[in-house]
């Protein structure tokens, strides 16, 4: 087990984050020290909740009654105003007060939705993340981004709201569906591309063990990505500039998610977005073509080439890009690369430049 700390200078707030296997005793100890006698609710999606209901109740029954284990339907569609209102109603009916603690058990959808619920209930109640997917463990549970989707686009309604602690148990990945596991590897490759050449080389060399979910390797991957994410968030918590480095591949990735009605999962959409961003980087900033080819090969090696870009027209993509949070003056702005691990942030892209990048496939 490893313990990390995310130190937020602006609020002088320190968030402990544990990475390891079988963290239930550590979680019980933390809850006993900080939340004994407080009102707790554990909220999860229907799939994860059904898988871990018995384990949760066996390990945490002393902290909350079974009726405080609340489920919502799994899937991106639950990141909605309707589901948020339903959960708010349920908590208030159960007399949740300002001293309430919410535990978000699940992947990125659970973290985003329950995090926004915590941010808005009584103007903010305490939150702990228990991420169960690879994507949530390496990325979405860290940094305080919470929110819901809008018909116009993804994550357009939300807040920055930090948890009190994060418990990242590698054992949760044992029950992760293969598609969800590969989905998370899209974000791992993103970290390697923008921040860590050693991680990149390691991903190339250790492909078989990583795909086999070797527990020691998984803990090493998650811990390294956690370190990288913490370093970025500590420099720029509210994404005023530097934190946008993490958006490599996300500008087009989010557009693909929306246009597919979220049938294309986040990691696969980001993989396609990275391929486009790499070609834009090559065309506009001189990123070596050999590196673009290596990225293509790495995404192929991890079976992340699931998106047929021909399914989306230039006009469709462009219109969605204009609604992206990073759009400025009616032009989408991308995170691109001048060289491997050397980012160019908020780079404005013209429609004809995007067309040229798409035509390169």
Residue 88 and residue 164 share a domain: yes
Cα–Cα distances (Å) from 306 to 13, 121, 183, 200, 267, in that order, read 40, 38, 10, 21, 10
Statement: the pTM of the whole predicted model exceeds 0.75? yes
- d(C-alpha 235, C-alpha 342), whole Å: 16
**Which residues have CB under 8 Å from 54's CB, separation 6+?**
none
Residue 197 and residue 166 share a domain: no
State the pairing for strand pair 13-20/2-8.
antiparallel
Residue 185 and residue 131 share a domain: no
Tens digits of per-residue pLDDT, 247-302? 999 999 999 999 999 999 999 999 999 999 999 999 999 999 999 999 999 999 99
pLDDT at 12 over 90: no
**Is 308 one of the catalytic residues?**
no
Residue 146 and residue 133 share a domain: yes
Which residues constitute the domain of residue 106?
Answer: 2-175
Structural domain tally of the chain?
2
Q: Are the beta carbons of 261 and 37 closer than 8 angstroms?
A: no
**Is 239 one of the catalytic residues?**
yes
pLDDT of residue 330: 64
pLDDT of residue 310: 86
**Is 229 one of the catalytic residues?**
yes
Residue 242 and residue 164 share a domain: no
DSSP alpha helix (H) spans, 12-45: 24-34
- pLDDT interval class at 359 (50, 70, 90): confident
Cα–Cα distances (Å) from 155 to 108, 169, 185, 195, 255, in that order, read 12, 26, 21, 24, 12
Backbone angles phi, psi at 18, to 5 degrees: -105, 140
Tens digits of per-residue pLDDT, 37-72? 999 999 999 999 999 999 999 999 999 999 999 999
- Bridge partners of 70, per DSSP, are 43
Q: Which candidate in 74, 180, 237, 239 is catalytic?
A: 239
DSSP state for residue 136 in the 8-state scheme: I
Q: Which candidate in 74, 76, 187, 257 is catalytic?
A: 187
Residue 240 and residue 190 share a domain: yes
Q: Identify the CATH number of the domain in which residue 30 sits.
A: 3.40.50.1970
**Is 123 one of the catalytic residues?**
yes
pLDDT of residue 325: 61
Q: Are the beta carbons of 74 and 47 closer than 8 angstroms?
A: yes
Mean confidence (pLDDT) of the chain:
94
Tens digits of per-residue pLDDT, 127-169? 999 999 999 999 999 999 999 999 888 888 999 999 999 999 9
**Is 187 one of the catalytic residues?**
yes
Q: What is the dihedral of CA 324, 326, 330, 331, to 10 degrees?
A: -110
Provide the residue count of the chain: 361
3-state helix, strand, coil in the chain (%, to 5): 55, 20, 25
Q: Are the beta carbons of 342 and 269 closer than 8 angstroms?
A: no
Residue 270 and residue 127 share a domain: no
Q: Which candidate in 243, 265, 279, 326 is catalytic?
A: 243
**Is 254 one of the catalytic residues?**
yes
- Collapsing DSSP to helix, strand or coil, 43 comes out as strand
Residue 216 and residue 138 share a domain: no
Residue 287 and residue 171 share a domain: no
Domain boundary among 121, 149, 175: 175
Residue 303 and residue 164 share a domain: no
**Is 329 one of the catalytic residues?**
no
Of residues 278, 277, 265, 261, the one with CA closest to residue 333: 277
pLDDT of residue 326: 61
Q: Are the beta carbons of 189 and 134 closer than 8 angstroms?
A: no
Q: Are the beta carbons of 81 and 110 closer than 8 angstroms?
A: no
Residue 182 and residue 135 share a domain: no
Cα–Cα distances (Å) from 190 to 78, 114, 248, in that order, read 26, 25, 7
**Is 5 one of the catalytic residues?**
no
**Is 34 one of the catalytic residues?**
no
pLDDT at 18 over 70: yes
Q: Which candidate in 68, 250, 265, 279 is catalytic?
A: 250
Residue 188 and residue 165 share a domain: no
- d(C-alpha 24, C-alpha 39), whole Å: 19
Q: Which candidate in 154, 190, 224, 254 is catalytic?
A: 254
Q: Which candidate in 47, 79, 129, 266 is catalytic?
A: 266
**Is 13 one of the catalytic residues?**
no
């Amino acid at each position: 087990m490893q313990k990390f700390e995310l130190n937020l200078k602006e609020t002088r707030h320190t968030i402990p984050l544990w990475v390891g296997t079988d963290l239930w005793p550590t979680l019980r100890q933390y809850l006993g020290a900080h939340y004994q006698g407080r009102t707790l609710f554990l909220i999860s999606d229907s799939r994860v909740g059904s898988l871990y209901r018995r384990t949760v109740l066996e390990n945490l029954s002393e902290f909350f009654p079974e009726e405080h284990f609340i489920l919502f339907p799994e899937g991106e569609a639950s990141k909605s105003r309707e589901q948020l209102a339903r959960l708010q109603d349920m908590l208030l009916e159960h007399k949740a007060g300002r001293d309430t603690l919410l535990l978000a058990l699940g992947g990125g959808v659970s973290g985003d939705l329950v995090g926004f619920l915590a941010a808005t209930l009584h103007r903010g109640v305490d939150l702990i993340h228990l991420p169960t997917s690879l994507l949530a463990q390496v990325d979405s549970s860290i940094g305080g981004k919470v929110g819901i989707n809008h018909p116009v686009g993804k994550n357009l309604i939300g807040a920055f709201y930090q948890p009190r602690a994060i418990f990242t148990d590698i054992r949760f990945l044992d029950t992760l569906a293969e598609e969800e596991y590969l989905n998370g590897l899209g974000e791992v490759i993103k970290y390697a591309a923008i921040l860590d050449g050693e991680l990149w080389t390691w991903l190339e060399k250790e492909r078989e063990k990583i795909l086999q979910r070797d527990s020691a390797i998984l803990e090493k991957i998650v811990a390294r990505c956690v370190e990288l994410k913490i370093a970025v968030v500590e420099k720029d918590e509210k994404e005023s500039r530097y934190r946008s480095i993490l958006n490599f591949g996300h500008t087009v990735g989010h557009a693909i998610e929306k246009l597919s009605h979220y049938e294309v999962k986040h990691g696969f959409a980001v993989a396609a977005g990275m391929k486009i961003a790499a070609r834009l980087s090559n065309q506009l900033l001189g990123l070596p073509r050999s590196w673009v080819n290596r990225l293509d090969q790495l995404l192929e090696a991890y079976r992340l080439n699931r998106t047929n870009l021909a399914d989306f027209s230039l006009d469709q993509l462009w219109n969605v890009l204009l609604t992206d949070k990073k759009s400025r003056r009616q032009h989408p702005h991308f995170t691109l690369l001048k060289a491997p691990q050397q980012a160019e942030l908020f780079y404005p892209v013209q429609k004809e430049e995007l067309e040229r990048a798409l035509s390169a496939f």
